[in-house]
Amino acid sequence: MNIALIAHDKKKPDMINFTVAYTEILKQHDLFATGTTGKKIQEATNMEVHRFKSGPLGGDQQIGAMIANNEMDLVIFFRDPLTAQPHEPDITALIRLCDVYQVPLTTNLGGAEILIRALEQGLFSWRELIKKNDEQGNEE
């Protein structure tokens, strides 16, 4: 599965701790991240992470494009709800795309714990059906 990992500056330590704790599960999947978050994950875990630009420079939109093309299966986004973000419209658009394309999304550590355990148990196989249906719909 393709998994996006995004974290605002004040939440990056939480993301690093999360990815270190769940390296064994995450390394079985294709990981994507915004710039600095991806670099910090790579340094902490030695996992391969496809890095996009930083969020404010278009990284959120690059991940959004993958969602719109049905190429992203799960988004773990540790948001900082207490700090204003200059690219808030991009964040809102990313969340909206997850809803439109039925991509599981969490914005906090508690939700991430639940999603990672569901991933471990193989409970996202329905995403393959959605992708298959999408491909068939695009062929017509």
Rg (CA), the chain: 14
Contact 53, 34 (CB under 8 A): yes
Tokens 């992708």 -> residue: 131
**pLDDT, tens digit (0-9, with 9 covering 90-100), for 76-110:** 999 999 998 888 888 999 999 999 999 999 999 99
Residue 136 pLDDT greater than 90, yes or no = no
Annotation marks residue 14 as catalytic: no
Question: Which pLDDT does position 140 carry in this prediction?
Answer: 46
**pLDDT, tens digit (0-9, with 9 covering 90-100), for 18-69:** 999 999 999 999 999 999 999 999 999 999 999 999 988 899 999 999 999 9
Question: Which pLDDT does position 117 carry in this prediction?
Answer: 97
Of 9, 60, 73, 90, the catalytic one is 60
| The two three-digit tokens of residue 1, written as one number | 């599965």
**pLDDT, tens digit (0-9, with 9 covering 90-100), for 5-17:** 999 999 999 999 9
Q: Report residue 17 CA to chain centroid gap.
A: 16
pLDDT band at 124 (very low <50, low <70, confident <90, very high): confident
In which element (H, E) is residue 93 found? Answer: helix 88-100
